Amino acid sequence: MESWRKVWREGFVPVLSTTGLMALRDALRGDDTRLTQGSTTTPPPLMCVQDWPCEGACALGFCGWHGDQLETVGQVEEFFAKACYEADARLGEPAACRWFLNWFDDTPRDEMRRELLAEVELALAERIPIDLPATKSNTAAGAKIAAA
């Protein structure tokens, strides 16, 4: 497994909310221009703009910004820093988060969107059960199990 996928799956996904992942999924599907590569936030997370409204964010920041209803550059930057800290701790490696962050920033946008969308959908599928429609065969099997 590529390093970025390991960091995403084992480091970041466990600390991101389902609503954050859903917001990221929608941004990836729609090629939302507010999902930015090469920066944590837009405007950049400088002290002088900490209270400004966030206008764009990387994948992690986007999860907090749109999924967890964060509003300011400072809030999104703090969310990003905590997510990175948690990922590093989960993986037991200082700066392990860099494998994902570098991949996200350096991968051509269309490729990044395609690859990350698949990962986000996988994470959501593991969290949100998909109910299969009842069919004659699985209803009969369920009745046999219940009767036993």
State the pTM of this model.
Answer: 0.86
pLDDT band at 129 (very low <50, low <70, confident <90, very high): confident
- pLDDT tens-place string over residues 43-88: 999 999 999 999 999 999 999 999 999 999 999 999 999 999 999 9
Residue 39 predicted with pLDDT over 80: yes
- pLDDT tens-place string over residues 89-122: 999 999 999 999 999 999 999 999 999 999 999 9
Alpha-carbon span 49 to 56, nearest angstrom: 13
